[in-house]
Structure 1
Amino acid sequence: MVACTQEGALFSELADQVEQPLIAPLRFVNIREVAGWTQEAKTSGPKIAALLALADIPEAEPVPVVNYESRGRLLIIGAGSQAIPWAAKLSSSLDVSVLCTEPGDLPLTRGYPIYTGGITKRDGYLGNFSVSWDLQNPIDPEMCTRCGACVEACPEQAIDLSFPIDLNKCKSHRACVTTCASIGAIGFDRKERDRHSEFDLILDLRADPKMRMSQTPQGYFAPGTDPLEQALAVNQLSEMVVEFEKPKYFAYNEKICAHGRNGKVGCSACIDVCSTGAIGSIFKNGQGSVEVNPNLGMGCGACATTCPSGAMRYNYPSVSHQGKEVKTLVSAFTAAAKKLNQAIAPQLTFAYLKSWHAND
């Protein structure tokens, strides 16, 4: 086992050139990034021993996994003046759609879908976002051809090149409706105003996205109206066309859950503490339980920590595996420290926290 990953390629090449085969395959462990050697170089021996012993422990037992698949279907939400320029830049690399919550001049070419309206529902996660909105203006930008005939026909100049109708100026002449009759993009009496679609990624440029959770889902970026923050978020979008899996971090035992009985809600500790909004309440036949969306759970363990009955527990790594890691750290550090006659407690705590910081 070599405690250096930087020169892994060199060591592997040298190992292939030796005449006699190695007793065991080479393993490379990066402890440099987590140990902070500069200040404690002379006393870091026990810490090195503890981290290497931890690295030698077999991987935790596998658990069920959660899958993500993002194909690059991006929805940009915000004022047209900000959303449309970003859409023009990203449309060559991503499958872009725009939802304008405030008017902005529409491009003459229809290179990507542009919608208008107000968000009524938004939930989901990377690769599986569901968004609903209300088409509030009489002009449907998806049907509009940008011919400009309605702009010329309107006697009150209530329509401009952003193609919403300013209802404060409109006097109900309906000349625009007559002009657009062959296209049908304008409808003051439109009954079906609800719109819905699915996306893989969301770039929310509104000043106040009004998220119900403090930790947003993977694939959802809300940089606000700051151009720099928007640029940083956009740089990450190209990396989110991916397919990967992660462990299912939790295990839930409904039989011992104290959430509800006989139609009455009892404990809701896990629901209240979840920062990602992954946990919800369900009642069936008078029996209450919680429902966890594993794609939203990020493995922080807060739900397991607050659960009073043990119905929700942290599943990866398991309690027994964590106990084995702690025991290994303590044993290795103590043995090395005794050989060097060093104080044990302060550095042991430091090595332990540093190792877990690396895992996180």
Structure 2
Amino acid sequence: MTALTGWLGAFEATWTSTNPIDLDLCTRCNACVEACPESAIDFSYQVDLAKCSAHRDCVKVCDAAGAIDFQRVPGETTERFDLVLDLGVEPLIGLHQPPQGYFHAADEARLVSAALRLRGLVGEFEKPKFFQYKHKLCAHSRNEREGCTACIDVCSAQAIGSRRSEDGPEKGGIAVNPNLCVGCGACTTVCPSGALTYATPTPAHQGRRLRTLLSAYRQAGGPKLVGDAALLLHSQGAGVQLVDALGRAARTDPAVRGVPARVIPVDVFHTASVGLDLWLAAIAQGAAQVWVLMTDEEAPDYRAAVAAQMAVGQALLDGLGYRGRHLRLIEARDVASLDAALQVEPAQTVAQPAGFAVQADKRATLDLALDHLLAQAPARPVPEAIALPAASPFGSLQIDTGKCTMCLSCVGACPESALGDNPERPQLRFTEKNCVQCGLCVVTCPEDALALAPRLWLADSGKARKQPRVLHEMQPWACVKCGKPFGTQKAIEGMLTKLAGHSMFQGAALERLKMCGDCRVIDLHTNPNEVKITDL
């Protein structure tokens, strides 16, 4: 086998056949098996060339069918299949999350399990679409410059690809193959702009569920009786089994303490599908902690991505003065380790739980959660800025004003309208609230004058980050003819310096570069020394 690609109902396998027996011509009469003196042919109807000593008795007995030919040229064959059962020692598709319809069974136990699951994949199916994609919000690329690649990097099914160099209405974004997508939702968790959102269930639905659980816990008197609630997010597969096993063990083994009364287990389709927006919303709505339980089901990339997002959230909460560890990734594979991980005191949460609803837009939910957490922050005074890890969806820009020429190419590259200009004068404006730290402005800048600075800016009680501020400005150049401002002094002076020695820009031609567009045209047509096309 040289290649295997595709998905459920549309696999394409390519293999090279070098064996003397053509299985399409073979009638399975078993005459060759009986005739071979070296037992080089078994019931797989392939010749073990290491045993064969060229008696060719098999060729003689297969004369009628003509299926055996030791002179056959190796040929490559490509076929399409609906399902694939891979019995090789090493899997042909080595992804942590292979396509649906592909099963690797290297031993008998896995073979039985795979065979049973294959039986259930016969028929017609509607493939669910787990995600919603908004191209206008995507910060992957602009003008073939690459910015954010978070979703592409984290997808363990390799269902997401770049459209950086493609033409069409969605050029510059990403392409998600819904047939390969298995619904883990990790791409929605790491997406800083909210261009990718989980569709089943939606963030609003999941947020409503978590808010209802926390509200019911408060109404039942939970915070006063056993402490503020902790949400334990776990998968519907191995996660459910492990939590159930802990409950059973606590009933029979005095050494096992079980799930504490303040811990609320919440099953989700995939643990990587719930991210920073829902975690912070839950804390703002009264949860003391949000824990994510991961078992062997989750890919290493998912663990790293969730841990990185939790580091951002915890840094925010620490900076606002909330004591304790609020966000934690629990990696447990047995009852004992899960039992020990759950026996933790509540962290400090808000004095007054928020009543907002989780929005469909990720950034809107984050803003609501941050506003409430800031209003309830124990730290007084609140720091002006909180430094955040590199995975942060919040941050500022650092600009080297000595390098910047105010070309404003960064403004055109920004997909979130965080960067803007001023029609009245040469200014570069920045609205920090809109910045998702994608880095497109950094890779677009021809002067390497920009750098990302992950942080949460809280000046003026968080209002300053929502207003545009001037990052850099220059004096405009005034036309030497009419005095109208155009360009900047630095840009025009740089252009004059670079073109001063060029043969095409001498005398009047060089002076013309100091004029605005209108005066330049007038000067060309009124100068008697200029060569006209009618003179040629």
TM-score range, shorter chain: 0.5 to 0.7
TM-score, scaled to structure 2: 0.38
Which among 34, 46, 64 is matched to residue 164 of structure 1?
46
- Residues 264/152 of structure 1: CA separation in 2 closer, same or farther (3 Å cut): farther
1:347–1:291 CA distance, 2 compared to 1 (3 A): closer
- Residue 322 (str. 1) matches residue 206 (str. 2): yes
Give the counterpart of 1:310 among 194, 219, 231.
194
Match of 2:82 in 1: 200
Change (3 A) 1:254 1:138: farther
Aligned equivalent of 1:272: 153
CA drift of 1:302 comes to 0.7
- Amino acid corresponding to residue 215 of structure 2 in structure 1: S
* Aligned counterparts, 1:184-333, within 5 A: 184-187=66-69, 190=72, 193-225=75-107, 227-245=108-126, 247-263=128-144, 265-282=146-163, 283-285=165-167, 287-333=171-217
Q: Kindly provide the CA deviation profile for residues 45-64 of structure 1, in whole angstroms up to 9, marking residues without a partner as x.
A: xxxxxxxxxxxxxxxxxxxx
Q: Write out aligned runs for 1:58-69 (5 A).
A: none
CA distance in 1, matches of 2:231, 2:31: 76
CA drift of 1:337 comes to 1.1
SS of residue paired to 1:235: helix
Higher relative contact order (CA 8 A, sep 6+): 1
Question: SS of the residue aligned with 2:214?
Answer: helix
Equivalent runs, 1:88-127 vs 2, <5 Å: 119-127=1-9
Question: Does the 8 Å CA contact 1:333/1:348 hold for their aligned counterparts?
Answer: no
Q: Which amino acid aligns with 1:255?
A: K
- Cα distance in 1 for partners of 2:77, 2:99 equals 22
Structure 1 residues 223 and 255: CA distance shift in structure 2, 3 A: same
CA–CA distance in 2 between the matches of 1:358 and 1:266?
Answer: 30
Q: CA deviation at 1:248?
A: 1.5
| Structure 2 spans left out of the alignment, 5+ residues | 233-260, 272-536
Partner in structure 1 of residue 466 of structure 2? none
1:341–1:357: structure 2 CA closer, same or farther, 3 Å change rule?
same
Identity %: 44
Taking the aligned partners of 2:13 and 2:264, their CA distance within structure 1 comes to 41
Matched, 1:356 2:237: no
Cα pair 2:230 2:264 within 8 Å, conserved: no
Aligned length: 239
Q: Is the 8 A contact 2:184 2:270 kept in 1?
A: no
For structure 1, the residue ranges without an aligned partner over 5 or more in a row are: 1-118
Structure 2: distance between partners of 1:304 and 1:325: 18
Amino acid in the other structure paired with 2:26: C
Matched residue, 1:48: none
TM-score by length of 1: 0.54
Larger Rg: 2
Measure, in 2, the Cα distance between the counterparts of 1:305 and 1:358. 14
> What letter is aligned with 1:355?
V
In the TM superposition, what is the alpha-carbon distance from 1:209 to its structure 2 partner?
0.8
Per-residue CA distance 1:93-134 (angstroms, 9 max, x = gap)? xxxxxxxxxxxxxxxxxxxxxxxxxx2222233333332222
SS for the counterpart of 2:113 is helix
2:225 to 301, 319, 342: 342
**Counterpart in 2 of 1:136?**
18
The residue aligned with 1:5 is none
Moved more, 342-351 or 198-207: 342-351
Partner SS, residue 6 of structure 2: strand
Provide the rounded CA distance (Å) in 2 between the counterparts of 1:152 and 1:313: 62
**Distance of 2:270 and 2:190 partners within structure 1:** 22
